Chain A
Amino acid sequence: MLETFLQFLFSGITAGAIYALVALGFTLIYNASHVINFAQGEFVMIGGMATVFLADAGWPIWAAAPLAVLLAVAVGVALERLAIAPAREASTVSLIVITIGASILLRGLAQLVWDRNFHTLAPFSGEEPIRVLGASILPQSLWVLGGSLLAVLALGWFFGRTLLGKAVIATAHNRLAAELMGIETRHVMTLCFALSALLGALGGVLITPITLTSYDAGVMLGLKGFSAAILGGMGSATGAVVGGLLLGVVEAMGAGFLSSAYKDAIAFVLILVVLVAVPRGLMGARGAERV
């Protein structure tokens, strides 16, 4: 029984770490602009696909991965400069719709530039599972988990300790006031898209050995990551990780102890219950908005 429970837990942690890593990407752009970037899943896909294709072309992984991440960053910057910045005066909802359009465009481009097959990447430290009390977990899952924790720490440091991070938060709170304080708010948005593309692509590189990747891999990852971010509290980095892990574990336990056919339904019911009880999510900011 313990063995079974542990296996479900490990499965949940594996999936949850992946959701958490994607959820983290939503945090940055949301914090800067209250825009939910629905092309976040596509950043993850670009990171994975570009690494795969560079690796297939003979590049070693330590060179392929950074280059793939750079490509995603370039795409993120281009997206902000070409699509978001010109519509800066539009409402948040319009900007969100633009990101949905961008996600469709990026999927289409990935189909043309690469292909429509699924691809995989060799795990970073072997495929030999680590066994604990009869249950097993893949070393790559620990990489993903480690990546999420590092990202949380980095984000915490960025927003809490650096001037640039504080400028981002100031811009999010009041663009006009931030501009009057001498913050170049235009650059803040570009920076946030670049960083969140970086985070997404890094995640894509880490998770591809487990999940595989294809031009449309971003759709489901984006959706699950978004759910995780909402569950944990949109805008909170710790919340994204807590939400991701919780979502993964609930799915795994639901599939294991109840029914694998309804595991997604079980997870979404949980999200609804949490949102009814705590509308801002588990770790969402509780401070009252000043009107």
Chain B
Amino acid sequence: MLGLKNFLAASALLAAGALAFAGAAVAQAPIKLGAVLATQGGPSFLGDPEAKVLKLYVDKMNAEGGIAGRKIELVLYETNGAAADAATFAKRLIAQDNVDFIIGGSTTGETMAMVPEIERAGVPFVSLGGASVIVEPVKKWVFKVPQTDRAAVEKVYIDMKQRAAKKVGLLAGSGGFDKSCTDNARALAKTHGLTVAADETHGAQDTDMTPQWTKIKNAGVDAVLYCGFGASSVVVTKNYAQLGLKIPFYHNHGSASTRWIQGSGAAAEGVRLPAEPVLVARQLPDRDPQKAAGVAFGDAYKAKYNEEPSTFAGYAYDALLLMADAIKRAGGTDKAKVRDALETTKGLVGATGIFTMTAADHSGVDVKSFRMVEVKNGAWRVLY
């Protein structure tokens, strides 16, 4: 039996220990990195590789001594893509976990739900969401990694023009990204001298899109752009082959994964899409500044998880790079200083592109960082 006296003594000892520990911790407090990623549900194909990359590279950076001698502590909250959850977790990261930096919002919807909290509290924030609305208009604390869907559409339209297309057909799923992509495609068509001659959609888990394809074919279009991702993008491609269509066919960068090629099989041959350099790092010419970083990242990811990194894995890697670079230049984790450093990021070579942020541009990459690739013999082939 532990007497009251002993109990008090033990408590005092414990308290003293805790104090001493806290003192030591202050000397080299870790950098607290908060992350909200959609690792579950529909958008898990985004959040899952993103979370894997954060875990892998936080460990890697810590093993190499951390950032400027300080270790990184990752606080990761997982969602199923629900915007309301993302907002709650953002609140918790700020109020409870006192994080120095936030990465996340795998989707545009989650990101936009987190933005009000983050703007109010003032925490440097790098989003992994795709749509242009995240950084337009510019928000003080909000930055983002992926090229916008608009840049992807632009890249596709430039390629279509080179193949002398005049009438373009659009096919899209019903998700937020799909809609944003088709909105951009409709808006940009005119400036690229194209007319939208067919505009079809399909449901989230539809099993057959041949009616939509038949309508597109009957509209006599010169090229087709598909806005969507996931399992539907495979079904759409298979239906294209089933009907024996020969219309030049483009996907958006959402299909830029080996999973899409494997799922589509022979049907994917000849399909083109704008892709981030990370996907084709090995094929890039040696003089390409992104080659070395892309290859190193791909090797490290494959060694740990035994799968090729997708485009989305590259986003998380770049978000970490942006953070490490900004904290180093800011000389610490003072939030305002880190934000200013983020905004003056210059020529940072990442997996997605080469980042140069300005007060007017919190995205930092543009259409130039895309490579146009074509599927050839079940693999990506870089066209230019």
Q: A116-B40, A118-B263 are in contact. Are A260 and B201 (CB under 8 A)?
A: yes
Q: How far is the CB of A138 from chain B (nearest CB, A)?
A: 6
Which residue on chain B has the smallest CB distance to residue A10? B210
Q: Cβ of B48: which chain A residues have Cβ within 8 Å of it?
A: 116
> Is the Cβ of A216 less than 8 Å from the Cβ of B41?
yes
Q: Within 8 Å of chain B (Cβ to Cβ): is A174?
A: no
Contact of B230 among A118, A136, A252 (CB under 8 A): A118
Q: Which of A92-100, A164-172, A206-214 contacts B (4 or more CB under 8 A)?
A: A206-214
> Is the Cβ of A212 less than 8 Å from the Cβ of B214?
no
> Is the Cβ of B42 less than 8 Å from the Cβ of A7?
no
Q: Within 8 Å of chain A (Cβ to Cβ): is B208?
A: yes
Q: How far is the CB of A107 from chain B (nearest CB, A)?
A: 10
> Complex formed: what's the CA distance from A136 to B241 in Å?
10
Which residue on chain B has the smallest CB distance to residue A219? B205
Q: A4-B214, A10-B210, A118-B230 are in contact. Are A261 and B235 (CB under 8 A)?
A: no
> Is the Cβ of B242 less than 8 Å from the Cβ of A129?
yes
> Is the Cβ of B214 less than 8 Å from the Cβ of A260?
no
Contact-residue size bin, chain A (C-beta under 8 Å from the other chain): 35 or more
Q: A4-B218, A116-B48, A212-B235 are in contact. Are A136 and B41 (CB under 8 A)?
A: no
Q: Cβ of A216: which chain B residues have Cβ within 8 Å of it?
A: 41-42
The majority secondary structure among interface residues of chain B is helix
Q: How far is the CB of A86 from chain B (nearest CB, A)?
A: 29
> Is the Cβ of A212 less than 8 Å from the Cβ of B234?
yes
Of residues 240 through 261 on chain B, the ones whose CB sits less than 8 Å from some CB of chain A are 241-244, 259
Q: A117-B259, A129-B242, A136-B244 are in contact. Are A260 and B234 (CB under 8 A)?
A: no
The majority secondary structure among interface residues of chain A is helix
The digit string for B11-48, where 1 denotes a CB below 8 A from any CB of A, is 00000000000000000000000000001111011001
The CB with the most chain A CB atoms within 10 A, among B48, B211, B218, B243, is that of B211
Contact of A252 among B45, B208, B234 (CB under 8 A): B208
> Is the Cβ of A116 less than 8 Å from the Cβ of B44?
yes
> Is the Cβ of A136 less than 8 Å from the Cβ of B214?
no
Of residues 1 through 42 on chain A, the ones whose CB sits less than 8 Å from some CB of chain B are 4, 7-8, 10-11, 14-15, 18
> Complex formed: what's the CA distance from A128 to B39 in Å?
37
> Is the Cβ of B205 less than 8 Å from the Cβ of A210?
no
Q: A116-B48, A117-B45, A212-B235 are in contact. Are A256 and B211 (CB under 8 A)?
A: yes
Q: Within 8 Å of chain A (Cβ to Cβ): is B204?
A: yes
Of residues 162 through 205 on chain B, the ones whose CB sits less than 8 Å from some CB of chain A are 200-205
Q: How far is the CB of B304 from chain A (nearest CB, A)?
A: 16
Q: Cβ of B377: which chain A residues have Cβ within 8 Å of it?
A: none
> Complex formed: what's the CA distance from A207 to B214 in Å?
22
> Complex formed: what's the CA distance from A263 to B210 in Å?
13
> Complex formed: what's the CA distance from A205 to B231 in Å?
17
> Is the Cβ of A118 less than 8 Å from the Cβ of B231?
yes
The CB with the most chain A CB atoms within 10 A, among B212, B230, B242, is that of B242
**Which residues on B are within 8 Å of A, measured CB to CB?**
39-42, 44-45, 48, 200-212, 214-215, 218, 230-231, 234-235, 238, 241-244, 259, 262-263, 265-267
